[in-house]
Amino acid sequence: MEYDLGLVLCAVAVVFIAGVSRALVYLTWRPYATTMAFRKQGVGGPGYKFWSGSNEELKSMQREAMQLVLDNHCHDITLRVQPQYRKWISQYGDVILFWFGPKPRLLISDPEMVKQVLANKFGFYHKPEVPSAIWALLGKGLVLVEGSEWARHRRVVNPAFKMDKLKLLTGPMAECAKSMLEGWSDLAVQAADGRGEIEVAKQFQELTADIISHTAFGSSYVDGKEVFFAQKQLQMLAAASILDIEIPGHRYLPTDRNITKWKLERRVKNTLVRIIRGRLEASNSSFGNDLLGVMMEASQQQRGQTMSMDEIIDECKTFFFAGHETTSHLLTWAMFLLSTNPDWQERLRAEVLQECGLQTPNADVLNHLKLVTMVLLETLRLYGPVVQIARKAGKDMVLGNISIPKDTAVMIPIMMIHRSKEIWGEDANEFNPLRFENGISKAAAHPNALLAFSIGPRACIGQDFAMLEAKTVMAMILQRFSFSLSPKYVHAPVETLTLQPQFGLPIVFTPLHAPH
């Protein structure tokens, strides 16, 4: 018996020593060897610290940057949002090695290298691991799935985003916007000076949520508000955990954060199931041709482009969030830029009135709003909702002339690239919509320099929807109101997965016409 116990203890000791050895290799030798391999290729960076990598330096810079308040005309918001990338690029150049804990990350800001990563058609660059809160927020939908699963999902939902179908949605989009703008008019009428003040960031969140509910899911903001409310809280949880190094198994522990996350997940799922069940009960021979209908038709297929009910729920999570979050921030920042550039506000208003007067703009009118389009593109350049893109090498790769080992994360700092003077010219930090006068491909030194919707096979499937929606709403605002920044506004952009004004966007607006 003592002999058996000795063997057991010996085996435990061997396993323990082997585990410690692997951990030490992972936490010390591997980072050292990786650093040396990149250094030989001329790639530098902030250096690796045991366990934390570059995280402590990164968090320290971000905490300090969050104390900054910018001038309203300062568009170099990297000072506040991406101070670490700003510092590292100035120190180390366009290719930088840094560390997320013991995991290497390669920051690339050269547009040709970015194109090689994002436009790769062979799936050599995958989506990296994300915090469990992001899975809870987006589900296993189009944004996060990979390979053949992604291709199948894309084929299923693609018909819902064809331009001929999207053009039919401008009417419902306008109806939703009209309801919001009538509220603005009522507010101004009640004011002694005939001017109203409103925090438009929250208004646009509710509006775009209403629009995606109506146009993609055949419901309303009231029906979907449980989803949006829960997703907003999940977004905050995800943003708070984005720099945390997850310990294996931690996501399954009943911590306060995990318990909150699980409750929110259940709330989202229960609401989505109710919406889907309502469509099932209401359908006769067809589920409809909106996004939900297209997915539900796919769930009835026996082979080929099929989609399970769990997959439909996950795609609903993705499109409920992405379908309103990005456009609401595009509208918010466009209002900010037009408020601080009244000459451009007048130019856009003149264009809208010339093309459609006071009539509700339709798809054909929107197609002729060149100046509005240019301003929205410049807004996406300066204040795009997504500030960086992440990929992971699925095998050993050569990027430019840099050899990248398998599983290395590749970070693309959109915000920094959008402000590069080498790419965009000396006025890169200035608001100049005329740079897009001849289209996106000719706006900069590289044809793929605008990355707001990404590029390549994984480019945002909803970008045409978002632009139609933004143009519809912006045109209707310009028809009805002039507007300026409230003195209460504080220019403090912040990233919480998406870029938004930390303290909202209070706007003072004046109706241009007497209410009917």
Of 340, 337, 371, which is closest to residue 354 (Cα–Cα)? 371
Hey, how many other C-beta atoms are within 10 angstroms of the C-beta on 399? Answer: 22
Among all chains, which residue has been given the structure tokens 């990233």? 495
φ/ψ (deg, to 5) at 242: -65, -30
* Residues contacting residue 358 through CB under 8 Å, at least 6 positions apart: 479, 513
Distance CA 60, CA 443 (A): 36
Q: Is 464 exposed, middle or buried (0-12, 13-18, 19+ CB in 10 A)?
A: middle
- What residues pair up with 95 in beta bridges, in sequence order? 108
DSSP 250-307: GGGS--HHHHHHHHHHHHHHHHHHHHHHHHHHH-SS---SSHHHHHHHHHT-SSSS--
In 404-428, which positions are buried (b, 16+ CB within 10 angstroms) versus exposed (e)? bbeebbbbbbbbbbbbbeebbeeeb
Distance CA 411, CA 398 (A): 15
Distance CA 45, CA 93 (A): 9
Cβ pair 483, 345 in contact under 8 A:
yes
> Rounded to whole angstroms, what are the CA distances from 455 to 47, 142, 340, 387, 389?
31, 15, 30, 14, 11
**DSSP E strand stretches across 149-284:** 196-199
On whether 316 is known to bind a ligand per the annotation, the reply is no
Single-letter amino acid code for the residue at 209: A
Residue 398 in tokens? 């050569």
> Rounded to whole angstroms, what are the CA distances from 173 to 185, 350, 362, 363?
19, 22, 10, 11
CB-facing half-sphere around the CA of 250: CA atoms within 13 A? 11
Could you list the residues known to form a binding site, using ranges.
460
Could you list the residues known to form a binding site for heme, using ranges.
460
